[in-house]
Structure 1
Amino acid sequence: MSHGILQKCHGLPLAIITLASLLTGKSNKDQWKQVYNSIGSAFSDKGMREILLLSYYDLPHHLKTCLLYLSMFPEDCRIDRDELKWRWVAEGFIAELRGQTVDQVAENYFNELVNRSLILPVGIMYDARANACRVHDMVLELILSLSVEENFASIVEGQCYNGGGHTIRRLSVQSEHVGDEAMQEIMDKWSQVHSISFYGLQEHGIPHLQESYSLRVLDFDYSSHLGNQHVKYIGSFFRLTFLRIDCREVTELPEGIGELRYLQTLDIGRSGIRKLPPSIGHLQKLVRLIVSNPVELPDEIGDLQALQELSRICHYSIKLVEALRRLTKLKRLGIEMPHRWKLDCDTGRYEEAFESSLAVMGKHGLQSLHITKSNILDEELMDILCYTVPCLRELVVKGTCITRLSKQMVSLINLTYLRLCMERIKQEDLCILGGIPALLSADLSVTHAPDELLTIGSQQFRCIKEFRFSIHHAQGGLNMLFLQEAMPELRRLHLDLEFVATEIESKTGFEFSFEHLASLEHISAIILRCDATRSRVEAAEAAVRNATRSRMEAAEAAIRNAVSIHPGRPTLVLKVESTQLKDKDEGVGR
């Protein structure tokens, strides 16, 4: 029977994978026979559609709905996992189950669609989860047709409106320009619309949305001519649950944003907004506040009792720092720490408030912390983190480099991802980091090449699967040896070596030893020559370039040699590049 099913697939990967996923849960021979009789030849478009339809009809109702929702995204679109999950939640597709939050239930639904090969995972991370997904063009073609048949979603492509029924339930505008007739038809039907997504629509085509009172999801994706006037009445959509604004021209949100009492996700990550109004504190159901650039928040942020994710905030006010301790459900936090001269109080008081708020958030289970460091809490920061937020699973510290690690980092028993920027790294630092028991991925960046041989032994980094080591503006070499049984689970190794052009010949060479990394599958390395400023190069160009080139060649040779003697022959991707520093006045007056 299996041979017959394979014959009908004609070697087409999508057909084989889809049917294999479908048959995984069917152990009865009669069930296999039923599948065999239900499909034609995958060699024809009709046969492939039959195979995909069979997989679709085999889905439970809740997964059918979640899959159909993917018709809202353009072809070949990279669909962010978290965005998709919370759009499902906003639409009411996800309900809490006993012992599981809606986020966990949505995660399970996403994984189930991946396992059934109906969506393609993209950006597999260290913990085997996908950052995003894509939809195969043939699967998209199927769910688009099903969406139109069931009046599930209406799609606008080019000048055409592709929708049925007397009302629009969900609208996806995937065009820069929409014809007047198509736009008029849309406006006549969208009084009951639940979800609207705009992908690149130009300014004159963006309608005013004052009358969409049933709206739950509003997504402006790369709408380059969207302006503040288009979000002026955003507060009238009192049922809105998900709002994303991807447009630099939108620079402010109206006070009316506080009227969105059901809002769960506010994503202004790629907007021009740099300050949020005080009314944001009225959003008692807000779970996710997403920004990518520093955004100044009002002190009322502490009123957001449902908030679980708060990213990339500037907090210069001590009141705001103190307000953070009231966010008892917060799981993910991103902070840009101010420099001393920007504070509205003395440094000691600010540091005490910050430490106190961290301790309260840690007590309530803060899991992810991203800090852009300044000159506050310089040497004490890592010590403070270890005893205030012991449940951390993810820690990122960038900005001003760390000067000292804490020996207490081994107490972070739940930490799986770590990213640090350090001035220098020593052997004792590697021993500290290697002792973190659950660490799966580490990204270490240093600004000075180590003066000593770095060795990683068998008792360090026992669980790590991905390791990245970067040196910036280095003038020396790098000797890194992995001893027998070191990093037994390591799959991917990344090396970024950036050399500053100099006439000084380094006393430290290059030596790498990868052969003991038993599970290693892939090595990527970037060797970058960072030339001196134009004036310095002109003064001593030949000597500088030759000295730096020899170090780059030595680094490349050492890496290639270490890979060549590895018994597992891991794949190697190696890039050698060059760039140039700018003079301080370069570009001025030119």
Structure 2
Amino acid sequence: MVMVRHFVSTLLARLQIARQVRSLLDRATKLDQLRKRYELPVPSATSPIPASVQLPSYAETTNMVGIDSPRDEIIAKLTSARTRHEAGRRRVVSMVGFAGVGKTTLAKAVYSSLDDRFQCKAFVTVSRKFQLKRVLKDILQQLTTSNRSSSMPDPAIVSVDTWEVSKLGKEIRDNLKDKRYLIIIDDLWEISTWNDHISHVLPENSLDSIIITTTRNELVANACCPRYHPGHFVHRVAPLNEIDSRSLFFGRIFGPEQNYPRVLEQVSKKILKKCAGLPLAIVCISSLLAVTSIEAKKWEKVYSSLGSEIENNDVLSRLKQALRVGYDDLPQHLKVCRLYLSAFPENGKIERDRLTRRWIAEGFVDEKPGEAMQEVAEDYFSELIERSMIQAVDADCFGEIHACRIHNMMFELIAMKSHEENFVTLIGNRRGTSTQRTYVRRLSLECGTTTDGLDWSSLNLAHTRSLTVYGNIDSLDSVPLCRFLRMLDFECCVGVSSRHLKDIGELIMLKYLSFKSTWISELPAQIGELKCLETLDLMQTNVRELPMQVTRLQRLVHLLAGVAELPQGIGNMKSLQTLCIRVAGKSSKEAVKELHRLTNLTKLEMSYVGVHRKGKSSQDGSPDILPSTISKLGNYNLQSLHLNLLGYSTSLFLQIQILLPSPPANLQSLRISGDYGFQSVPKWIRSLNDLTDLELTVRMVGTQDLEILKGLPNLVRFRLTIKESSKEGITIPGSSLPFLKELFIHRRIMPVSFNQGVMPKLEKFELQLRAYQEDLKFIRTTIDHLQSLKEFQFTIAVQRGLSDFQVEYLKSSFKSAVFI
């Protein structure tokens, strides 16, 4: 009887021990597989277990690398905000950044540094699966513990597990209403979590309290820190620099002395480049290498198989989890768009327009009522950036992001997932030439030595929907052009010629075709057979003339023809929204008459070339068709007009300045430049109330011109080229251009000054000067009243006849203007 009682009473404990033993056995099996994979020696019983194998998080390491500077910057901003804004107001800081970049680590560092300055403090993690009651209970328990000298819980909240959410919120508010507090809300995912729940229980008590949130989502960060609230700010957490990355990497493997074998230098550089400053990646991979033989060959093997290691290796499980959680949270349409990035070269810059137009061609973008497909695709792009799924590149002063990159670690993960799902097949130098596929949906071909002599018959391309080609295809007699292709991209590909396009007329479903930045010089007449084509990109190519058959492409939306001439029949292409073209010959100038039939055109970029004859104007004196065509396009929705008038003297500029019946009212971007320029700023520009971007070439600028520019209320960027100098110079009047952020002036040296109150938001001022000897007396440039200026650049093109002393005088004069 006693033995039975003992058996029953110890049953639970023995079951728990059995589970732990089974877990240890599973772990031992996996470690043995890892040892065999990397051909490691079996450790002896007395061998010490490396500390790195325990895999502490970056935030848990005692000597955190690269954290001091951002921590001190945030604390300094908080102190400054308290001084500059209303003393006592609650301040919110939101840290935003990519998964694994160190947001939590930085928040903990700030929390520790400010610990003793607050009466109450708490550090809680929200996570993707938000549970309001758990978070509120966690906050309350930490607050009551920090208020007591004893570490024991407050007797008043012993029954907290049974409390309703409303009671938890009230207790937190009551606890904090008369105390200075510091609260960290880590890993915030949704705006509603902050707006509807957490912010309401943290009172504004005018005691200099601070809240710090961390998130991957830019929109969430901005919601926590609205711009209109003084003292709030968003801190974008940056990756580690090269020095700190090396210090963290080698320090975790070889200790603080970092006495690593020099034979590992090159492979270490490649691994660190792959990590791209991501602390979590560096910590996890260095932990894996810490149990790997100190041989360059073994490290190379780890490097070359990082994708599969992230997916399958337990040592890298935290890295995999951090990278995948954001991806798993995406809606299905964004998952597909992000997975598609594996078709692009690793670590390369991906232009937004190229990516979004390819998404559309692939069928990834859903139609929305009242929105163009391009607008919907750009919304997808913006959302991926806001979620920190891709990294923004080339942001302009309008807040538009024109390109992106994907982090190397994330690229490894999506390339592996793409391979598993047969989403994109990668063939080439980096991925090898594995062709073991039942069929290929999308092919990304990186040409080089590994693809020489590649047998296309080994690939089942019957169902291939897209083909992206990189590298040099000069040695390839042909490329596989499946008749069901929807997307064909040769951008930046070397060696593209007519032999690679001999069957292009059979691609009846093709929607996207790009030869951008290739050597191609002509298009086959078969191009007219591509009835579904929506994008044709010939920018930066040698194509000078389009075949007449191109005007049969009734569905073409974007014709980016570069230096190719405008074809007659262009008026038949009614779907065109974007047109980049050249007008030079008689035939193309006749075709200008047809442009007014393009009722869907939103962007027109045109080089308009005239030919000077000795003693004659570039025109015969008759009015040019261009001004009236521009006016007719204004009856529709033309939003961007860029004209480069080359080889013309006064005639065409005067006609546009004086004879333009009415400018396009919806213009947001207007650029008119050329060899000669307008006599003055055209008066009709003052009617363009929506204009945000303006570039002009003028002979001279006077007071009347400045008054016209003063009347542009929404201008954000302004580029002005002035051909002739004036001893009076330019004085920008006060209250002008209230939203201007960027100003570029190209001129001869003349006095420039800014009255008080002018351009209050100007952040960047670029000045390009042509210096002649007779202009030296006009050096008077001051930027005293540009209070928001962050960047001032000046370039001086010194003309002949200036001595070294005069050149130095020019330099010192402009340096003193900006207090260098």
TM-score with structure 2 setting the length: 0.60
CA pair 196-206 structure 1, distance change in 2 beyond 3 A: farther
1:203 CA drift (Å): 1.1
- Secondary structure of the 1:144 match is helix
In structure 2, C-alpha distance between the alignment counterparts of 1:44 and 1:450, rounded to whole Å: 64
CA pair 360-462 structure 1, distance change in 2 beyond 3 A: same
- Of 163, 175, 179, the match for 2:451: 179
The equivalent of 2:7 in structure 1 is: none
CA pair 443-149 structure 1, distance change in 2 beyond 3 A: same
Equivalent residue letter for 2:591: L
Structure with larger Rg: 2
In structure 1, C-alpha distance between the alignment counterparts of 2:457 and 2:394, rounded to whole Å: 36
TM alignment of 1:556-567, pairs within 5 A: 556-564=811-819
- Secondary structure of the 1:555 match is helix
The equivalent of 2:731 in structure 1 is: 455
- Secondary structure of the 1:266 match is strand
TM-score with structure 1 setting the length: 0.83
The equivalent of 1:424 in structure 2 is: 700
- Of 294, 304, 311, the match for 2:580: 311
- Of 496, 514, 525, the match for 2:768: 496
CA contact (8 A) 1:200 1:221 kept: no
The equivalent of 1:127 in structure 2 is: 398
1:128-186 deviations in Å (ceiling 9; x for gaps): 111211222112122111111111111123171256631111111223333357x3267
The equivalent of 2:508 in structure 1 is: 238
CA contact (8 A) 2:441 2:461 kept: yes
CA contact (8 A) 2:435 2:458 kept: no
TM alignment of 1:347-496, pairs within 5 A: 347=620, 351=624, 353-373=625-645, 374-375=648-649, 376-384=651-659, 387-400=662-675, 401-471=677-747, 474=748, 477-496=749-768
In structure 2, C-alpha distance between the alignment counterparts of 1:206 and 1:18, rounded to whole Å: 49
- Secondary structure of the 1:485 match is coil
CA contact (8 A) 1:178 1:205 kept: no
TM alignment of 1:74-473, pairs within 5 A: 74-158=345-429, 160-161=432-433, 165-180=437-452, 183-184=454-455, 188-205=459-476, 207-210=478-481, 212-246=482-516, 248-293=518-563, 295-314=564-583, 316-317=586-587, 318-339=589-610, 347=620, 351=624, 353-373=625-645, 374-375=648-649, 376-384=651-659, 387-400=662-675, 401-471=677-747
CA pair 448-469 structure 1, distance change in 2 beyond 3 A: same
CA contact (8 A) 1:282 1:304 kept: yes
CA pair 562-140 structure 1, distance change in 2 beyond 3 A: same
CA contact (8 A) 1:394 1:415 kept: yes
How many residues are paired up?
Answer: 532
CA contact (8 A) 1:307 1:327 kept: yes
In structure 1, C-alpha distance between the alignment counterparts of 2:457 and 2:280, rounded to whole Å: 39
In structure 1, C-alpha distance between the alignment counterparts of 2:776 and 2:493, rounded to whole Å: 54
CA pair 348-331 structure 1, distance change in 2 beyond 3 A: farther
- Secondary structure of the 1:271 match is coil
Identity of aligned residues (%): 30
1:349-385 deviations in Å (ceiling 9; x for gaps): 652x333322221100111111122344232313455
1:288-342 deviations in Å (ceiling 9; x for gaps): 011332x123211111010001113215335312211111101111222242779
TM alignment of 1:469-548, pairs within 5 A: 469-471=745-747, 474=748, 477-500=749-772, 504-506=773-775, 508-531=777-800, 544-546=801-803
- Secondary structure of the 1:165 match is coil
- More deviation, 412-421/156-165: 156-165
CA contact (8 A) 2:557 2:576 kept: yes
Equivalent residue letter for 1:561: S
CA contact (8 A) 2:428 2:447 kept: yes
- More deviation, 369-378/62-71: 369-378
The equivalent of 1:553 in structure 2 is: 808
- Secondary structure of the 1:103 match is helix
In structure 2, C-alpha distance between the alignment counterparts of 1:371 and 1:124, rounded to whole Å: 24
1:383-429 deviations in Å (ceiling 9; x for gaps): 45582312211111122222222223111111111111222233432
In structure 2, C-alpha distance between the alignment counterparts of 1:248 and 1:185, rounded to whole Å: 23
1:19 CA drift (Å): 7.0
Structure 1 residue ranges without an equivalent (≥5): 532-543, 565-571, 573-590
- Secondary structure of the 2:594 match is helix
In structure 2, C-alpha distance between the alignment counterparts of 1:388 and 1:24, rounded to whole Å: 53
Which structure dedicates a bigger proportion of its chain to strand? 1
CA pair 263-151 structure 1, distance change in 2 beyond 3 A: same
The equivalent of 1:15 in structure 2 is: 99
CA pair 445-550 structure 1, distance change in 2 beyond 3 A: farther
Equivalent residue letter for 1:554: Y
- Secondary structure of the 2:392 match is strand
1:209 CA drift (Å): 3.5
In structure 2, C-alpha distance between the alignment counterparts of 1:23 and 1:161, rounded to whole Å: 45
1:86 CA drift (Å): 0.4
- Secondary structure of the 1:312 match is strand
Equivalent residue letter for 1:398: S
Q: Report the RMSD for the aligned CA atoms in angstroms.
A: 3.1
1:41 CA drift (Å): 6.1
- Secondary structure of the 1:488 match is coil
- Secondary structure of the 2:354 match is helix
In structure 1, C-alpha distance between the alignment counterparts of 2:399 and 2:660, rounded to whole Å: 27
In structure 1, C-alpha distance between the alignment counterparts of 2:627 and 2:686, rounded to whole Å: 20
CA contact (8 A) 1:148 1:163 kept: no
The equivalent of 1:538 in structure 2 is: none
CA pair 34-272 structure 1, distance change in 2 beyond 3 A: closer
Which structure dedicates a bigger proportion of its chain to helix? 2
1:507 CA drift (Å): 5.5
1:279 CA drift (Å): 1.0
1:82-130 deviations in Å (ceiling 9; x for gaps): 1111011000011221221111111111111111122121111120111
In structure 2, C-alpha distance between the alignment counterparts of 1:143 and 1:254, rounded to whole Å: 37
- Secondary structure of the 1:133 match is strand
In structure 1, C-alpha distance between the alignment counterparts of 2:742 and 2:130, rounded to whole Å: 37
- Secondary structure of the 1:189 match is coil
- Secondary structure of the 1:172 match is strand
In structure 1, C-alpha distance between the alignment counterparts of 2:338 and 2:661, rounded to whole Å: 42
CA contact (8 A) 2:627 2:655 kept: no
CA contact (8 A) 1:154 1:161 kept: no
1:282 CA drift (Å): 1.2
